[in-house]
Amino acid sequence: MKFQFENITQLFVMDGHGVFVWTAVLVSLVVMLWLIVKPLADSRAALKDVSGDITRAALTRGDA
């Protein structure tokens, strides 16, 4: 197994195909990152909502 390009610059240029290959890579990485970050942020927001509700309920009851 050997590295197919003479240097790192060639890896990015890929004989003129680099712009297509690296666009595909970049967009894929962004979408994949969104698939991880979005549900984590949603979970966090849901838990924050619940704890906020509990605190508010306690305050209105006057036992906080």
- Under the binding rule (CB under 8 A), the answer on residue 64 touching another protein is no
Q: What is the CA radius of gyration of the chain?
A: 24
H/E run at residue 11: helix 8-13
- Under the binding rule (CB under 8 A), the answer on residue 58 touching another protein is no
- Under the binding rule (CB under 8 A), the answer on residue 51 touching another protein is yes
Provide the b/e sequence for 37-49 (b: ≥16 CB within 10 Å). eeeeeeeeeeeee
Residue type, 49: D
CB of 23 to another protein, least distance (A): 5
Question: Which residue in this structure is represented by tokens 């927001």?
Answer: 45
Binding mask 4-43 for another protein (x = CB under 8 A): xx-----x--xxxxx-xx-xxx-xx--xx-xxx-xxx-xx
List interacting residues with another protein (CB under 8 A): 1-5, 11, 14-18, 20-21, 23-25, 27-28, 31-32, 34-36, 38-40, 42-43, 46-51, 54
